[in-house]
Amino acid sequence: MLTKASNPNHQGSKKVRGVVLNLSALDLWHEWVLTLCMILAIAAVLAPLLILMGLKHGTVQTMRDRLIEDPVNREIKPGSTLQLDAQWFTRFGSRDDVGFIIPTILRGASIVSVSPEGSSKREAMDIVPTRLGDPLILENGGQIPQEGECVLSYPASEQLKVEAGERIVVRVSRTRSGRRQREEIELKVIAVLSPRADALPKLYAPLQFVEDVETYRAGHAVAHRNWSGGKPRPPLSFTDLFVVTREPLRSLDARRLTINTGFADVESVDAAGYRAAFGFPLAEGLSVYRLTTVGNPVRPDSLKRVRQKLRGREAILLPWAEQTVLIGGNEESNADTMRIIGLSLEDGEMETLGLTGIPWGRFDPEKPAKSMRRILLPQSDRSPELSNGQVMRIRHTENPALEIPLAIQGDTVGDYAVVPVEMIGLIETAESRVIEYPKKTDEFLLARAGYRGFRMFARSINDIPGLFRQFTDMDIDVITQVREIERIKVLDRGLTRIFWLVAIVGIIGGIAALMASLYAAVERKKRDISVLRLMGLARLEVFRFPVYQGVVIASISVVLAILVYATLAGIINFVFSADLELGQKICTLPTAFFIYAFVTTSGAAILSSLLASVRTIQIDPAEAIREE
């Protein structure tokens, strides 16, 4: 078996390749003037292309860096007031393309009066919530404030003449019951943001403090700050109103009841319809009209407006909303349902309607929870275990977490269980708002409805268009820098097209020049090449001669072009250094581009030399003898 070392043909072929390579290099050196012209011609094509690509890459990269480095360009803000719950923020906060999100409050409620400690000078500022991970704070020289701390925007610091480490006084004011009220709190300024962060005077504080400001401005108390105020009691809501009169209403008078009252339609109700709604028979000689809403339910002030239109008539107003509650069981699947109606009537009204035994009196929107938590059970459906005085717990079908204990007050001869109509209004409100019932205080409180906006930062500027489309699909108008980002992408695409148009023209011209030069060289050296054939070089070895020369010329041209590019790029970056930040360059290329340039130019040189190589193998060795 023969090895490579013992293979004379293999060793010979290596030597021949080396001889051809040396001869091609020596021939280029011998004709150094022509070689230099060819190198300069190719470098003259490559250098402008490298500079053009460097300007394109550097300009776009600088613009992208400025967009990426400034978190304002990654910010997404709603263009209008929204109603968002905590689950919405949890869902969006878990997305991979969202880097940070925090709720905001109504802009009108977020305006506070701020003054330096010990100064009477006051400035109105917008207070903005922040928390851990806020890129606007962290990437603009700030730190996340804790309780009793805040961060100021640069314009706010300039207006107040306050620096980091000093203290300010924040005054929160409101008008309640016709009186002007205010509360003050001192905050320590722990940082002032860089000017690029915000062009407006703003104060950044923890989310809890901002929520407390909104709560106080809404007229409610903030217990843990000792800020006085009322409690957020839930309003009563009703979908319908039954009007009972002794005399029938004219059609025009009935229609007037829907004007500026919140109701959309009115219709006459017969005895069967009345019993279906309330479970009681209609007394003789009474007329009933039903006012209905479309969309949003009405509040007690709508009932007042209807009563004003009925002045002079003996009319009884019966607010109504169809409600079915859950009783028994811990889950909706194993709980029973019970239909309830609401009635709150004076003695005279009960007598008119032919009713008795409703112990909680007339309708009162301010009725305390203890007076509302009562129920009368229908005799036909009442189980023996439910006796008077016992507590019966009901749960809302839409919000089973709201459990209300009702004291059984007796029986009713009607078809449905009866509760105060205020309880019906409360349960109707619970369909759209979260209501809490703290057992210790025995009162119904309106939980936070949600948030009216948000501050969101995408993880990168490349995520902005996708999030923008997502919000558009959700019919949420948002403010983003998506146009700036798209403008950079359009610029990148446009410059790339221009580069390739120029590059194609230059490459074609370079290939044609190199091809013509190598072919002309072969024609000039036909005698020399035929002599090489007589000396024993095969066609394949002679074929490589122009290829080697083309690669050598291309390699030297690339090196020269890179040197020219590096020199001019340094000059360009120096000239524009005053307009650039540290580390930024307006003309730059990654190392990979130089490798691509070498490979591409070498490939073009090989293609250019093929015509000359084909001509070499067509030369007859006998031509050298004939010339001799």
For residue range 321-337, what is the model confidence (pLDDT) as tens digits? 988 887 765 555 556 78
pLDDT tens for 85-138 read 888 999 988 999 999 999 998 877 889 999 998 888 899 999 999 999 999 999
Q: CB–CB of 429/236 below 8 Å?
A: yes
- pLDDT reported for residue 521: 64
Q: Are 78 and 453 contacting, i.e. CB atoms less than 8 angstroms apart?
A: yes
Confidence of residue 202 (pLDDT cuts 50, 70, 90): very high
What is the mean predicted confidence (pLDDT) over 14-33? 67
pLDDT band at residue 7 using 50, 70 and 90 as cut-offs: very low
Task: Annotate 136-188 with DSSP letters as a single string.
Answer: HHHTTT-----TTEEEE-HHHHHHHT--TT-EEEEEEEEEETTEEEEEEEEEE
Q: What are 44's strand-pairing partners?
A: none
- pLDDT at position 5 is 42
Of 8-22, 154-168, 261-275, minimum mean pLDDT range: 8-22
Q: Which residues of 57-70 are buried (b: 16+ CB within 10 A; e: fewer)?
A: bbbbbbbbebbeeb
**CA-based Rg of the chain, rounded to a whole angstrom?**
44
d(CA 532, CA 621): 8
Q: What is the spatial distance between Cα 624 and Cα 152, in angstroms, rounded to a whole number?
A: 90
Which pair of structure tokens corresponds to residue 449?
Answer: 């409805």
Please give the average per-residue pLDDT across 50-67, as a whole number.
Answer: 75
Within 8 A by CB and 6+ apart from 222, the residues are 212, 215, 216, 229
Mean pLDDT of the chain: 82
- Domain borders along the chain are 17-69+484-625, 240-446
Q: What pLDDT is attached to residue 581? A: 62
Instruction: Please report, rounded to a whole number, the percentage of residues in the chain having pLDDT higher than 90.
Output: 35
Under 8 Å between Cβ of 338 and 256: no
In the block, residue with structure tokens 């009196």: 361
- Chain centre to alpha carbon of residue 173: 32
Q: Are 172 and 213 in contact (CB under 8 A)?
A: yes
147-172 residue pLDDT tens: 999 999 999 999 999 999 999 999 99
- What is the rounded distance in angstroms from the CA atom of residue 253 to the CA atom of residue 274? 21
Lowest-pLDDT choice from 142-146, 349-353, 461-465:
461-465
Under 8 Å between Cβ of 389 and 290 = no
Distance, CA of 186 to CA of 170 (rounded, Å): 6
Query: Once rounded to an integer, what is the mean pLDDT over residues 292-312?
Result: 92
Please compute the mean of the pLDDT values over residues 340-366 and round it to a whole number: 92
- Compute the average pLDDT of residues 301-308: 94
Per-residue pLDDT, averaged over 19-26, amounts to 69
CA-based torsion, 10, 11, 14, 19: positive or negative: negative
Contact 203/227 with Cβ under 8 angstroms?
no
Answer for the pair 388, 316: CB distance below 8 angstroms, yes or no: no
Phi, psi of 393 (to 5 degrees): -100, 130
Classify residue 118 as left (phi > 0), alpha (psi -120 to 50) or beta: left
Alpha helices (H) in 454-584, listed in sequence order: 464-473, 482-524, 526-534, 539-575
Pick the range with the lowest mean pLDDT from 5-19, 347-361, 509-523: 5-19
Model pLDDT, residue 20: 66
* Choice among 367-376, 476-485, 504-513 with the minimum mean pLDDT: 504-513
pLDDT of amino acid 610: 67
- 57 versus 136: the higher-pLDDT residue is 136
Q: What is the pLDDT of residue 318?
A: 96
Taking residues 281-298, report their average pLDDT: 93
* Whole-number Cα distances in Å, 621 to 405, 528, 543, 625: 115, 10, 14, 8
- Name the more confident of 228 and 541: 228
- Of 298-302, 481-485, 589-593, least confident by mean pLDDT is 481-485
Q: Is the pLDDT of residue 260 over 90?
A: yes
Sign of the four-CA dihedral 566, 568, 570, 576: negative
- Which one-letter amino acid corresponds to residue 154? Y
What are phi and psi for residue 425, nearest 5 degrees? -65, -35
* Bridge partners, 182 (sequence order): 173
Residue 375 exposed, middle or buried by CB count within 10 Å (0-12, 13-18, 19+): buried
Q: Tens of pLDDT along 459-505?
A: 887 888 889 889 989 889 988 877 777 777 777 777 778 777 877 77
Give the Cβ contact number of residue 508 at 10 Å: 12
| Average pLDDT of the residues in 580-596 | 76
Q: What percent of the chain has pLDDT over 70?
A: 82
Stated as kind and residue range, the H or E segment containing 118 is: none
Q: What is the mean pLDDT of residues 342-370?
A: 92
CB 35 within 8 A of CB 28: yes
How many whole angstroms separate alpha carbon 165 and alpha carbon 188? 7
| Tokens of residue 86, six digits | 């905590």
* Among 204, 212, 205, residue whose Cα is nearest residue 183: 212
Instruction: Please name the residue that has the structure tokens 């004379």.
Output: 8
Instruction: Record the tokens describing residue 3, joined without a space.
Output: 């090895």
- Contacts of residue 17, defined as CB under 8 A and 6 or more positions apart, other chains included, come to 541, 544
Give the whole-angstrom CA distance, residue 414 versus residue 279.
Answer: 5
Q: What is the pLDDT of residue 440?
A: 84
